[in-house]
A and B are shown apart, each in its own frame.
Chain A
Amino acid sequence: MKTLIAGGKVIDPSQGLEGDFDILIDGKVIAKIDKPGKIKLDGKGKTIDARGCIVAPGLVDMHVHLREPGYEGKETIATGSEAAVAGGFTSLACMANTNPINDKQTVTGYILAKAREARCKVFPIGACTVALEGLKIADMGEMKEAGVVGFSDDGKTVMNAELQRRIFELAQQLNMPVLVHAEDEHLAADGQMHEGAVSTELGLDGRPAVAEEIMVSRDIMLARTTGCRVHIQHVSSAGSLELIRWAKTKKLPVTCEVTPHHLTLTDENIGDYDTNCKMAPPLRSAEDRKALIKALADGTIDAIATDHAPHGILLKMIEFDKAAFGIIGLETALALTLRLVDETKLTLMRAIEALTVAPARILGLDVGTLQVGKAADVCIFQPDKTFVYTPERIRSKSKNSPFINWELPGAVRYTMVDGKVVYTG
């Protein structure tokens, strides 16, 4: 089965490709890329009309919570993957805080079995510590054999620095990255939002930026000590960026990601106690947001990741200080990133890189590229076509998003996984 994607503008940061090209897909792989009109299907196969569209590698989200097993009321691997492909994503890395927690090969195996019926590719992340308790190292080697692509206690921070050092040493030996949620749990304590003038005004306990910065600096130093590939998840403060910049000038194996919501919103958006603006790390100040955008543009921030965190209304339609942390993000990530491109804060090339090959490389995944011979995972979107993100169009099982009813650019037209169209918009 052959498919020709014709008439679109191709952007593939993995090979520095930007321009008008047609792409031929043969079976599951990219077969050929050539000037418009050069590739002929000679009667066999179908053509996808990509005129007016950007043709990019399928997007890669290295940080999602698919809630299965254990919290299928919030999301399942199936519904999460539906949301993913609707947002242009073709690969997801799912965090370990399921129930049971993915801290052993049986759970990894269960997730991978479920993933076979998903609309897109799903790569599990294993826990660093047993039950995410931060006390005892999980069987990381066993989980690697079972198929995890990295380790993380996401949602929690390993507070014991010695334990973190040992985790890094073992992961380094396994040649696996460790993804860290960097928030000092004592400093963040019962904080509900960024600590600053807005939290003071609202009378809510704050999670200070320094809670993140201390752990970012600790883990950078431990990366230097151990040589482990350390990836800082959802960076949110300007101070953390200074530390990461330093690490990169020292050529330390440190990478990081930012979420679309931290790039778009600030603590002011909490307004009248909007629980859909409650997440950890929290939305920070306007200066932090500005610094994040700049760092994404200059490459200090490697990747964009959603931290897609579905929660039902029982955990969101309640008092702010009781509400759960986190929001969904798979169906808005591309659009929110394109807003920054429209505001000329980011080139389209850099934006797509942060959504495709950059996260793929951090996790060592052979995806996020349109190179000939690679899997035909493709995202085709129309940058100038807007859509309104209504509750009805949300494919995730949960609807906890602060972007509901926003008009957003970049409607996804087609998403393809292994050469097969899995979503048509």
Chain B
Amino acid sequence: MMLNRKDILGLKDLTVEEINLILDTADGFRDIATRKRKKVPALQGHTVVNLFYEKSTRTRTSFEIAAKRLSADTVNFTASESSVGKGETFIDTVRNIEAMHPDVIVVRHGSAGAPHMLSKMIKPGVINAGDGAHEHPSQALLDMLMIRDERGGFEGLEVAIIGDIAHSRVARSNIYGLQRMGAKVRIAGPATMIPIGIEKLGVTVAPSVEDAIAGVDVIMMLRIQLERQSQVLFSSMREYSRQFGLNAKRLELARKDAIIMHPGPMNRGVEIDPFVADCQRSRILNQVTNGVAIRMALLYLVTGGGN
């Protein structure tokens, strides 16, 4: 089976079959990491460009390792967004990169929709590595791979996503993907961070963290960044931690075998209690290994792998 699309822009438009294909492919790539020679020739002769408009060492490194393990040539562009009307525009940069004949462009951009614009203008495949507050498909897919490992599937699972939903691309991608696969998603957070109309995506908005967590299989905590957002959204990190942080007491409300996830980087002591973050139900570290496997799968599949 192969993927019939050149771009991975978001989870919103991926089908159940496509998501399964990506997860299965990633599953198969995982053992490469444990081999002595961590390389397969699948993408030999292919060029992957990592075009990052936002600093994100973790995601960029993960894509780079993924490309190298598939024997692709990689080029990294760390671009800065020029002010409007001055310097090179996004489109100019992309056209210049296209002249190098890459096969895939992995793009991270602060503006929602930038990868979509890109995909319409160029021939190479586009993988969205995070666009504004819109989507972050590779992150959601690696979260889903983790959940599938733990639970064997998604049907009937209850997942709570806690935090700043309004500004979270990880939340949106997970909401689309998990629900598409049959899981139920509840969200909770400060009222100022629950965006208008989010119920239309199919989620349940819980009135409190306690309500959101009660009886769930998976708790996903989002990173809170009060410094970056406008001051009007919330009073203080301390208040946030008291009202919305995950602590041992709140964790007890979840199913006994519930797992804790966090797309990172974590603020220990803010959205998550340090002991809870390190407890045996936490799956925070394992997510890194899955990240490379998922990104290998995406690169492999958008270049026609599995054909």
| A residues in contact (CB < 8 Å) with B | 189, 195-204, 206, 208, 272-273, 314-315, 317-322
A321 to B81, CA, bound (A): 12
CB distance from A314 to the nearest CB of B (A): 6
Question: Total number of A-B contacts with CB less than 8 angstroms?
Answer: 77
Interface residues of B in 205-248 (CB under 8 A from A): 230
A200 to B166, CA, bound (A): 7
Q: Which residues of A contact B117 (CB under 8 A)?
A: 273, 319-320
Q: In the complex, which of the residues A189, A314, A317, A318 has the most CB atoms of chain B within 10 Å of its own CB atom?
A: A318
Q: Would A273 and B116 count as touching, CB distance under 8 A?
A: yes
Q: Would A319 and B111 count as touching, CB distance under 8 A?
A: yes
A314 to B200, CA, bound (A): 34
Answer yes or no: B23 CB below 8 A from chain A CBs: no
Mark contacts of B129-166 with chain A using CB atoms, 8 A cut-off: 1 yes-contact digit, 0 otherwise. Answer: 00111110000000000000000000000000000001
Answer yes or no: B100 CB below 8 A from chain A CBs: no
A195 to B132, CA, bound (A): 16
A195 to B81, CA, bound (A): 25
| B residues in contact (CB < 8 Å) with A | 12, 81, 84-85, 89-91, 109, 111-114, 116-117, 120, 131-135, 166, 169, 172, 195-198, 200-201, 230
Q: Which residues of B contact A208 (CB under 8 A)?
A: 196
- Select A319's contact among B12, B113, B198, B200, beta carbons within 8 Å: B113
| Closest CB pairs A-B (n = 9) | A197-B197, A273-B113, A203-B134, A319-B111, A203-B133, A200-B195, A203-B112, A197-B200, A321-B111
Q: Which residues of B contact A317 (CB under 8 A)?
A: 89, 91
Q: Would A202 and B84 count as touching, CB distance under 8 A?
A: no
Q: Which residues of B contact A315 (CB under 8 A)?
A: 84-85
Given contacts A318-B89, A318-B91, contact A273 B112 (CB under 8 A): yes
Q: Would B84 and A200 count as touching, CB distance under 8 A?
A: no
Q: Would B201 and A200 count as touching, CB distance under 8 A?
A: yes
- Select B197's contact among A200, A204, A272, A319, beta carbons within 8 Å: A200
Q: Would A318 and B90 count as touching, CB distance under 8 A?
A: yes
Chain B: CB-nearest residue to A314: B85
Q: Would B196 and A202 count as touching, CB distance under 8 A?
A: no
Q: Would A200 and B198 count as touching, CB distance under 8 A?
A: yes
Chain A: CB-nearest residue to B194: A200
Q: Which residues of A contact B166 (CB under 8 A)?
A: 200
Q: Which residues of A contact B198 (CB under 8 A)?
A: 197, 200
- Select B116's contact among A200, A201, A272, A318, beta carbons within 8 Å: A272
A320 to B172, CA, bound (A): 19
Q: Would B112 and A321 count as touching, CB distance under 8 A?
A: yes
Given contacts A197-B197, A272-B113, A320-B113, contact A203 B135 (CB under 8 A): yes
- Select A202's contact among B85, B91, B113, beta carbons within 8 Å: B113
Q: Would B169 and A319 count as touching, CB distance under 8 A?
A: no
CB distance from A283 to the nearest CB of B (A): 15
Given contacts A204-B132, A314-B85, contact A195 B112 (CB under 8 A): no
Chain B: CB-nearest residue to A194: B196
Chain A: CB-nearest residue to B120: A272
